[in-house]
Amino acid sequence: MDLGEFLRFEAVVPAMKAKSKRQVLQELAGRGAVVTGLPEREIFDVLLQRERLGSTGVGHGVAIPHGPVRGLDGIVGIFARLERPIDFESEDGLAVDLIFTLLSPPGAGADHLKALARIARVLRDAAITTKLRASADASALYALLTHAPTSAPDAA
């Protein structure tokens, strides 16, 4: 699964100015509403509820908030590069500056998990994250994410 299958250019935020986890989730929900046409509040509630279960900060300055959103026809990705890292309550204690949000239709099951695995694989690559952190250009960020090499097939 390629990130370009569910990440559109207009879903890339090159320099988000949020100062807290809640503000990040709110801004991601706002961008999600623009991209999907669904209510911002519903997207925000899904992301907030997921964070209450445990942080989606996966370490190394990366977070992958995700959840099911009623009304979606397919999986939608939103990527944000923060201007300043924020505390995301990650297990490794490091502040987060790269966030890839994944919204899926309820019942997406295996496709949701495959997309999460692909996102994690791409954002685990130190060479890619270094380039993402060095660029504040939406076109460059989109190209890096959607043309990331596939080092191994996605698990089913």
Residue 92 has pLDDT above 90, yes or no: yes
Kindly state the tokens that stand for 71: 């009304």
Q: Where are the chain's structural domains? A: 3-146
pLDDT at 149: 67
* Fold (topology level) of 3-146: Mannitol-specific EII; Chain A (3.40.930)
Nearest to 88 by CA among 40, 22, 31: 22
Kindly state the tokens that stand for 142: 């989109």
pLDDT at 153: 42
Continuous H helices in the chain:
21-36, 40-53, 109-123, 126-134, 138-146
Which residues lie below 8 Å from residue 114, measured CB to CB, with a gap of 6+?
A: 1, 154, 155, 156
**pLDDT per residue over 116-153, tens digit each?**
999 999 999 999 999 999 998 999 999 999 987 654 44
**pLDDT per residue over 33-75, tens digit each?**
999 999 999 999 999 999 999 999 999 999 999 999 999 999 9
Are 89 and 21 a contacting pair, CB within 8 Å? yes
Number of residues in the chain: 156
Angstrom distance (rounded) from CA 91 to CA 33:
29
The catalytic residue positions are 66
